[in-house]
Structure 1
């Protein structure tokens, strides 16, 4: 067990160092078996956090992200969090004023993460394969200046959402036919 953990930590450290050394704008920590975002990374990236525009934490075991994560990486343009156990976002996500795309597919959201509606540059929201039934803030989404696509396929959306949304919005809202099941992974 510890050996496995050690390998995971070493892998994360290697990827973080690559980002720092290459001056890359991307931090890729996909498939690192992370249960939380490693606190040590903040120190290592302290001087370069502003240049990081894409973070991938896909296919980990994250249950939440902290407000510190959001405020540290406030320059993010894209955040990929698909395939985790997230069910909410910290309010500080509102500090991601430059974010253009967020992928929250294959998580455990029951409620639409309404904080996303405060992000002025956001163009794409992917919430495919979550457990969102009602409370999609259609009016707030409709008021978002940059929003182009929101993917709500394979969510148990209520009939109400399906009826209310289309006439109000000017962006693409992807929904599965009622009762459709996601294909098994």
Structure 2
């Protein structure tokens, strides 16, 4: 068990160092068995955090992200968090004023993360395969850049299906009522 954790930690360290050394704008920590975002990374990346535009934390075991994560990486354009155990976002997600794409598919959201509706640059929201019933359609309708929101395989209420189409100018992907996602 510890050796596995050690390997995962070494892999994370290696990927973080690659990001720093190559002055990359991407931090890819997908599939690193992370339960939380490692605090040590903030120190390592403190001089380059502004240039990081894409962070991938897909297919980990994250249950939450901290406000520090959001404020540290405020220059993000894309955040990939699919395949975790997230059920909410910190309010500080509002710091991500440049974020264009967020992927929260295959998580545990029961409530639509409304903080996203405050992000002026956000174009694409993926919330496929969550447990969301209600969607703040009116707020989404006022988002200036929104182009697409994927809500497939969520138990959306009938009201959302009726209200949304006339109000929105973006693509809203929904499964047919009662459709189930394929088991993993």
Q: How many residues align?
A: 184
Q: CA deviation at 1:169?
A: 0.2
Q: Distance between the aligned counterparts of 2:73 and 2:95, measured in 1?
A: 9
Q: CA deviation at 1:137?
A: 0.5
Any idea what the Cα deviations from partners look like across 1:67-86, whole Å, max 9, x if unmatched? 00000000000000000000
Q: Distance between the aligned counterparts of 2:161 and 2:63, measured in 1?
A: 29
Q: CA deviation at 1:112?
A: 0.2
- The question of whether the paired residues in 1 share the 8 Å contact of 2:134 and 2:156 is answered with no
Residue in 2 that maps onto 1:86: 86
Q: Distance between the aligned counterparts of 1:140 and 1:180, measured in 2?
A: 26
SS in 2 for 1:61: coil
SS in 1 for 2:43: helix
**Structure 1 stretches of at least 4 aligned residues deviating more than 2 Å after TM superposition:** none
Q: Distance between the aligned counterparts of 1:121 and 1:173, measured in 2?
A: 17
Q: CA deviation at 1:184?
A: 1.8
Any idea what the Cα deviations from partners look like across 1:3-58, whole Å, max 9, x if unmatched? 11100000000000000000000000000000000000000000000000000000
Residue in 2 that maps onto 1:121: 121
- Calculate the aligned-residue CA RMSD, in Å: 0.5
Q: Distance between the aligned counterparts of 2:88 and 2:162, measured in 1?
A: 25
Any idea what the Cα deviations from partners look like across 1:128-179, whole Å, max 9, x if unmatched? 00000x3311000000000000000000000011101111000000000000
SS in 2 for 1:32: coil
Residue in 2 that maps onto 1:110: 110
Q: CA deviation at 1:183?
A: 1.2
Long gaps (5+) in structure 1: none
- The question of whether the paired residues in 1 share the 8 Å contact of 2:15 and 2:28 is answered with yes
Q: Distance between the aligned counterparts of 2:111 and 2:119, measured in 1?
A: 18
Q: Distance between the aligned counterparts of 1:178 and 1:135, measured in 2?
A: 14
Q: Distance between the aligned counterparts of 1:140 and 1:72, measured in 2?
A: 26
Q: CA deviation at 1:89?
A: 0.1
In the superposition, the TM-score normalised over structure 2's length comes to: 0.99
SS in 2 for 1:55: strand
- The question of whether the paired residues in 1 share the 8 Å contact of 2:128 and 2:150 is answered with yes
SS in 1 for 2:181: coil
